């Protein structure tokens, strides 16, 4: 339960750090992680129109495998919103971290790590979450490919409760990934992935998205060959 006086409540192994003003949780979490903060910190900033948060992790496997934390936390978000929103609200996930609600873009997940070497174990990893609650700059319907939770029947979803649920469900999936491997995560994520089997563009390539490999690398088939695009290509630069 959420106590308005103390802020969000997180499960054991996680702790919260609330930000105010224009400070971005993703940037703050990257800076904290680079300085050696403990894993499990959920940095967050909730405003009237946006929920932003970032989770600090300490992977124990090479980056090529640890990058699975991006889709893991994406599944965690879908499970969280699915539990809180009306049943008719559909949530899907783009391969590179985008979130879609009822087909329209509605925020994203991001990832940064202490290394870009796929074979190295990162000192840290940060998964960021950004979800618009309100569309302030446009009238509803002006940008049909972009939406906010309040435009999709989620006005009764409290952002603090959504933050708590995201942390809780993400932790469940992280534990399952550690204990069981990738099979259950792959099955859950594939049912949520937006665009598998369709023509898409990714970077400089265009083709049919066939699926992903064990480490969630994109398999993209064009007229000549099937390309493997590692998920590590979506890593954001460290500062």
Domains of the chain, each with CATH number or no CATH: 15-195 (3.30.930.10)
pTM of the model: 0.94
What percentage of the chain carries pLDDT values higher than 90? 90
What tens digit of pLDDT does each residue of 111-152 get?
A: 999 999 999 999 999 999 999 999 866 555 566 789 999 999
CA distances from 207 to 51, 213, 217 (A): 34, 16, 15
130: which 2 tokens?
Answer: 């950004």
DSSP secondary-structure letter at 236? P
CA distances from 210 to 158, 203, 226 (A): 37, 16, 9
What tens digit of pLDDT does each residue of 67-87 get?
A: 999 999 999 999 999 999 999
pLDDT at 228 over 90: yes
What tens digit of pLDDT does each residue of 204-221 get?
A: 999 999 999 999 999 999
- The rounded mean pLDDT for the chain is 93
CA distances from 167 to 31, 57, 100, 211 (A): 20, 12, 19, 27
pLDDT at 5 over 70: no
């Amino acid at each position: 339960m959420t106590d308005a006086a103390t802020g969000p409540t997180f499960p054991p192994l996680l702790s919260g750090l609330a930000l105010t003003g224009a400070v971005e949780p993703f940037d703050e979490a990257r800076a904290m992680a680079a300085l050696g903060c403990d894993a499990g910190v959920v940095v967050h900033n909730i405003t009237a129109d946006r929920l932003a948060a970032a989770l600090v992790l300490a992977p124990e496997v090479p980056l090529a495998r640890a990058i699975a934390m991006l889709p893991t936390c994406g599944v965690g978000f879908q499970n969280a919103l699915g539990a809180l929103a009306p049943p008719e609200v559909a949530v899907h996930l783009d391969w590179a971290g985008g979130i879609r609600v009822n087909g329209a873009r509605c925020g994203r997940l991001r990832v940064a790590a202490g290394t870009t070497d796929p074979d190295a174990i990162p000192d840290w990893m940060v998964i960021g979450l950004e979800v618009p609650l309100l569309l302030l700059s446009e009238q509803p319907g002006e940008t049909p490919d972009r939406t906010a939770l309040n435009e999709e029947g989620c006005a009764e979803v409290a952002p603090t409760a959504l933050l708590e649920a995201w942390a809780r469900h993400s932790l469940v999936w992280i534990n399952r990934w550690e204990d069981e491997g990738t099979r259950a995560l792959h099955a859950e994520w594939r049912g949520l992935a937006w665009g598998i089997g369709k023509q898409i563009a990714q970077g400089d390539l265009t083709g049919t998205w066939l699926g992903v490999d064990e480490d969630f690398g994109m398999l993209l088939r064009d007229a000549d060959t099937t390309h493997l695009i590692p998920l590590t290509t979506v890593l954001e630069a460290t500062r």
